[in-house]
Chain A
Amino acid sequence: MNAGIAQLQMQFRDYTISLYQQGFLDDQFTELKKLQDDGSPDFVAEVLLLFFEDCVKLIGNMARALDKSTGTVDFSQVGASVHQLKGSSSSVGAKRVKGLCVTFKEYCEAQNYEGCVRCLQQVDIEYKTLKTKLQDMFNLEKQIVQAGGVVPQVDID
C-alpha cells in the first residue's frame, strides 16, 4: 500500500509539474494552493469551480455579442466580457486562458471580427482542456488521500 501511495504521490507530482511546464498553470495557482489549509481544505477546488462557471457564463456573453444575426457586433461588450475573463483567469492561475484573453482583447479593440471569433473558439477549447486536466489532478489527490497518504506539496521552479 505504501508503495501505492508513493506511486500515486509521484504521479501527482509529475502531473502537476507538467501542467506548469505546459503553461496551463502559473504562479498564481501556487499562491492559491497556499491559501488552502485546514480552515479551508477545499479552497482550491471551490475557487476553480467558480472559475469554470464564470467561463461558461462569459463565453456565452461573448458568443452572443459576436452573433451577427442579432445585428451589429458590439465589440465593447465583447471586450468587457473578455476583460472579466482575463481578471478571473489571472486570479486562479489559468495561464493559457489568460494569455488568450490578452489576444482576444486586442482583436476586440481592433474590431476584428474574425480574430474575435477565432479567439472565442480557442478560449472555449482552452478552458475545457484546463478543466479536464485539473479534474485529473484532483482525482489523483483524492486517490492519495483515500489510500491514506498525504498530498505532497509540489514546488515549482
Chain B
Amino acid sequence: MTMEQELEVLDQFPVGMRVLAVDDDQTCLRILQNLLHRCQYHVTTTNQAQTALELLRDNKNKFDLVISDVDMPDMDGFKLLELVGLEMDLPVIMLSAHSDHKYVMKGVKHGACDYLLKPVRIEELKNIWQHVVRKSKLKKNKSSVSYGFENEGKANRKRKDQFEEEEEEERGNENDDPTAQKKPRVLWTRELHNKFLVAVDHLGVEKAVPKKILDLMNVDKLTRENVASHLQKFRLALKKITYEANQQANRAAIDSHLMQMSSLKGLGSSFHHHQRPIHVGSGQFHGGGATMMRHYPSNTTLGRLNSLSGGMFQPVSSSFPRNHNDVGGNILQGMPLPPLDELHINNNKTFPNFTPQQSSLMVAPNNLLALEGHQQSSSPSLNPGFSPHLEMNKRLEHWSNAVLSTNIPQSDVHSKPEALEWNMFCDSASPLINTNLDTDSRSFGRNTDFGSSNATQTEFFNPLQMNQQPENNAGPMTEAQLFRSSNPKEGLVMEQQKLQSGFMASDAGSLDDIFNSVMAQEQSQSDFSEGDLGFGLFGSLGTCI
C-alpha cells in the first residue's frame, strides 16, 4: 500500500483489520474467531501453522496481524512467530494457556507484540489493533523525517512495545561500552555494517526488514531491534542524500557552467550558492592543506569537509578546465557535496579523477545523496580501502554537508579532506543528518581537527592527485559502491558519536597520524564515549589509504 493508502486504512482502524488466527485447538479457534468478529475484525482461521505461513506468503499484504497459539503440533508457535516477523514483518500476538513467565519472555524475545493467556477475553482482543498501528507507524517513520541521533533512540523507544524494552536491555548488556553514553549501543563496525549492507542489498532496500536482515547477517547477540534502528537510520540517510543530491545536482549544473566561464581564477568568486562563500585561493588549490587548515581552525567539520573535498576536488580542479559540467567545477566552488551528487546526477562526469578510494570518499556522500535517486547500483564497496564502512560514509556525509553549506573554497576542500572527515565524524549525527546540506556549515564548527587534518589532507591529496584522471565511471561506480557498502546517513547519524571515539582509537595505516591528531582534538570536543566507536572504523580507514 502506498503511504496514503496506509493512512486511510489506519483511519478506519480497527474496523476491518485483517487477522489471521492460528490454533490447533478447534475449540479455542472457534471462540477466538467469534471474539475477533465481535471486534469487527476480518478473521481468517487455520489450525495448522504451516497453512498459516502459506497464507501469509501467498500475499504479504493480505493480513494486518497474526494471532497464534504457542503449542502446536506441526510447528512451534515461537518458530512461526519468528518466521512471520522475518518474512512479513507483521505484528504477531501469542496465545497460550501457559502463564509461565518464561514463556512470556520467550514470546517477547522472539518478537511477539503481545502475549495473551487463554482463555482470551474480548476486552483484550479489542486492543490488539494498536500493534498494527504502531508497527505501521514505525515503518512509516523509517522513511520519513529524520530524527536527531539522540532523538532517534528515544523515538524508537517510544514506539516500541513495552515488550520490546527487554530487547533494549539485552542490547545494553551486550555492549561493554564503558563510556558515559546514556545507553549502551551496538557498535556498528565496518564489518557489521558491511554485513548489514550485504543483507539489505540481497533483500532489496525496499523489502529489507529487520528480521530478515538480522537473519542474513547472522551475527551473535545482535538483536532485531539493533538492526531495526540501524535500518531506519540508513533509510533516512538515503532519503536525505537523494534529496540533497538532487538539489546539488541542480546547483552543480549551474555552477559548472559558471566555472567554465570564470576559469580557475574565478574559483573563489563564483561560489555564492552557499550561505557562506569561502574564498578559494587558487594558490591553495592544490595541496594547500596547511593553508586550508588555517582557514578553519575552529571548524573541524568544515575542515574535514574541506579536506575531503579538497582531496577529492583537487584532482577535479586540476581537471577542471576539461570538466565542463563536472562536479569538479562545482567542487571548485566549494561544493564538495554537490559535486558528488552531481557526479551521480551528471553521470558522474564530475569526478573523473576520483580513484576508487577517492571516489569512495566522495562517493560516500554522494552515495548517500544519490542513493535513492541516482545510483542505486549497489555495488559492493566502493573503496577497497574505505569500504562501505560507516566511517567513510560518515566522513563523506559530513564532508558533503560541510561543503555544501559552507562554500568551502577549493583550497580548503583540498587541504582538509581529513579534517572534514574527522569533523564530520565528530559532529553529532543529528545535526548532520537533519540539516540541509546548505545549512550544514554549522556542523563544521564543532570540531577543530585542523591540525590533524593537515596530515590527513596530505594523505588524501596524494592519492587524489595521483588519480587525477580517473575514469568518470569511477565516480558513480564508486559512489554506488560506497553507498552500498557504507551506511550513509545512517552510519553517520548513528555513529556520530561513536565515530569520534572510534576515530581516535583506531590506527588506520597511513592515517594513523591523522587519526591520532584528530583524536586529540576530537576528544576535547566530542561528547561521546570512545568505546562506542570501536576500532572498526579506523581499521577501514587505514586500509583505504
Q: Which residues of A contact B (CB under 8 A)?
A: 28, 31-32, 35, 39-40, 43, 46-47, 50-51, 53-54, 80, 83-84, 86-88, 90-93
Contacts and interface: CB of A to CB of B under 8 A. Distances in A.
B106 to A, nearest CB: 15
B71 A91 contact: no
Interface in B80-123: 96-98, 118-122
Contacts of B122: 31, 35
A35 B38 contact: yes
Given A31-B121, A40-B34, A86 B97 contact: yes
Given A31-B122, A80-B71, A91 B28 contact: yes
| Overall SS of chain A's interface | helix
A64 to B, nearest CB: 14
Contact of B119 (A46, A50, A90): A90
Nearest to A89: B27
Contact of B34 (A28, A43, A84): A43
Given A84-B71, A88-B25, A91-B118, A47 B31 contact: yes
B67 interface: no
Interface string B25-40: 1111011001101100
B31 A90 contact: no
Nearest to B120: A91
10 contacts: A31-B122, A47-B34, A53-B26, A84-B25, A84-B97, A88-B25, A88-B28, A90-B97, A91-B27, A92-B119
Interface of B: 24-28, 30-31, 34-35, 37-38, 69, 71, 96-98, 118-122
Nearest to B95: A87
A46 B30 CA distance: 9
Given A80-B71, A87-B118, A90-B118, A54 B97 contact: no
A31 B123 CA distance: 11
Contacts of A28: 119
Taking each of B27, B97, B119, which has the highest tally of chain A beta carbons within 10 Å of its own beta carbon? B27
B24 to A, nearest CB: 8
A86 B96 CA distance: 11
B157 to A, nearest CB: 34
A47 B35 contact: no
Contacts of A80: 71
A99 B98 CA distance: 15
Nearest to B73: A80
Nearest to B118: A87
A49 B467 CA distance: 81
Contact of B71 (A32, A35, A53, A83): A83
Q: Which 6 interchain pairs have the tightest Cβ spacing?
A: A87-B97, A88-B27, A91-B119, A51-B27, A50-B27, A90-B119
A53 B69 CA distance: 19
Contacts of A92: 27, 31, 119
Nearest to B25: A88
A87 B94 CA distance: 14
Contacts of A35: 31, 34-35, 38, 122
B121 to A, nearest CB: 7
Given A87-B97, A91-B119, 10 more contacts: A39-B37, A47-B27, A47-B34, A50-B30, A51-B27, A54-B27, A87-B96, A92-B27, A92-B119, A93-B119
A83 B69 CA distance: 12
A144 B118 CA distance: 33
B27 A83 contact: no
A1 B38 CA distance: 36
A47 B69 CA distance: 18
Nearest to A88: B27
Contacts of A90: 97, 118-119
Contacts of B121: 31
A46 B31 CA distance: 10
A51 B501 CA distance: 63
A87 B31 contact: no
A32 B120 CA distance: 11
A88 B26 CA distance: 8
Contacts of A53: 26
Taking each of A47, A54, A83, A87, which has the highest tally of chain B beta carbons within 10 Å of its own beta carbon? A87
Contacts of A51: 27
A83 B97 contact: yes
Taking each of B24, B34, B37, B96, which has the highest tally of chain A beta carbons within 10 Å of its own beta carbon? B34
Contacts of B31: 32, 35, 47, 91-92
